[in-house]
Structure 1
């Protein structure tokens, strides 16, 4: 198989999985490790991938990947994370769900819950929960981001300030090694920070592809999160910080 055929497939796998490895690609394509290393070097030189130890990831930048690509990225992991998160959400509470495909997965996992009041700035979450007869839904309003159904801006933040919810479930675009939650949209970051202030307890849902990505805007630290739901163990330094911060980490299977 020529590199002109391999390169698009490698990029598609990176978009789908968040990271590709030299060993995994060599086995998949039935070529040598050296061949894959050359492929990854070529893709990195053209700015389409970023080399890391043992493989490559999507390049760092200031723009998020598209919503449809994010929606099909690691769906099994997101569903497992959502189930683990939903198991820790009691009935009879007020709950905030923000923008993101991971929080949308949590909305799907809540269909067995009873007597929830859900506040959201995510039109997709509202639609997912619309058929839930035991769920009151409050949509914040704000500037509609047509690409993903998110509601952002001052109006969204002002609406959230009218609430003090029992629990917020939030996502992020990237998780830095020092424990910072990162995102791409400054307006969305401002809304997420308001959510944190107006919540008695906060859960983070983020799959392991976020560990190898970066984004320019800081939301908060894991030190401000009560529980973190993910699909892979954290590296030892970050796991140690979470223990110091008393942030519970749940690794979904």
Structure 2
């Protein structure tokens, strides 16, 4: 990285809030090739200006990253999401029972499944329901509960109780971020608990996430998935992050626009 002036460096540090959520002095010092004391001065200035929030242990919590609505997220990485959705739809076989999460990428998968036949599809997401509600060749189950308006998904004890009464061939999950160390990230602990339960009810577990989600830590609620799950992302994924995920026995599929 080219050496940046102090203002440009501080702007870049703040920008990282949208991708990582947390940064240590050591990490930032290495990233910008400056001394730790320089980074501490940057962070002190950003904190004084109200652009960062301090946390314990020497790490700096970047400004809280507001949860985007599903409508806001739908346009992000649109072509990548379509490619991921097509790849996921091609894995599905007639006669299977599927579980679809809420989220824009899983919603894109639901759109791809509109032409399928002989499937049972349960979902916690309004987007999937809207895509599939008029398809007479599919059997659709809604796992109701408490609706989160931002994610357009159902969560809570009623959702979990309904989930306990079914098993699935495949589950397709969305996420706000993925970390090799922590798992998959969401804004709400109810979401992460539900994703863990969803993963336990299915034989094959897929997480659908375009490349920008890899390495993101925008929130502090995490789901730990059972070993053997598959991340489906696009070809822009950071090779180092892909390698780190594979080192933890996570299958990673990177797809391009025309791949199925």
Normalized against structure 2, the TM-score is what? 0.72
Q: Which residue of 2 aligns with 1:28?
A: none
Compared CA separation, residues 106 and 44, structure 1 to 2 (3 A)? same
The alignment status of 1:89 with 2:92, answered yes or no, reads yes
State the 4+ residue runs in structure 1 displaced beyond 4 angstroms.
Answer: 37-40, 43-54
Deviation at 1:140, TM superposition (A): 0.8
Q: What does 1:34-53 correspond to in 2, within 5 Å? A: 38-39=7-8, 41-42=10-11, 44=13, 53=31
Cα distance in 1 for partners of 2:177, 2:241 equals 17
Deviation at 1:180, TM superposition (A): 1.4
Compared CA separation, residues 62 and 45, structure 1 to 2 (3 A)? closer
Corresponding residue to 1:216 among 220, 238, 243:
220
Q: Which runs of 5+ in 2 are unaligned?
A: 33-61
Q: Which residue of 1 aligns with 2:165?
A: 162
Cα distance in 2 for partners of 1:167, 1:150 equals 19
Q: 1:124-178, CA deviations, whole angstroms, 9 ceiling, x for partnerless residues?
A: 1111111222111100110011233211101001100100111101111111133
Deviation at 1:241, TM superposition (A): 4.7
Compared CA separation, residues 132 and 122, structure 1 to 2 (3 A)? same
The total of aligned residue pairs comes to 216
The alignment status of 1:180 with 2:183, answered yes or no, reads yes
The alignment status of 1:207 with 2:214, answered yes or no, reads no
Deviation at 1:206, TM superposition (A): 0.6
Cα distance in 2 for partners of 1:90, 1:134 equals 14
Q: Give yes or no for contact 2:17–2:64 (8 Å, CA) kept in 1.
A: no
Q: What does 1:73-152 correspond to in 2, within 5 Å? A: 73-152=76-155
Q: Which residue of 2 aligns with 1:235?
A: 239
Coordinate RMSD, CA, aligned: 2.9
Q: What does 1:33-72 correspond to in 2, within 5 Å? A: 38-39=7-8, 41-42=10-11, 44=13, 53=31, 61=64, 63-72=66-75
Q: Which residue of 1 aligns with 2:193?
A: 190
Cα distance in 2 for partners of 1:244, 1:47 equals 25
Cα distance in 2 for partners of 1:122, 1:138 equals 11
Compared CA separation, residues 210 and 39, structure 1 to 2 (3 A)? same
Q: Which runs of 5+ in 1 are unaligned?
A: 1-21, 24-32
Deviation at 1:219, TM superposition (A): 0.8
Deviation at 1:234, TM superposition (A): 4.9
**Aligned with 2:202: secondary structure?**
coil
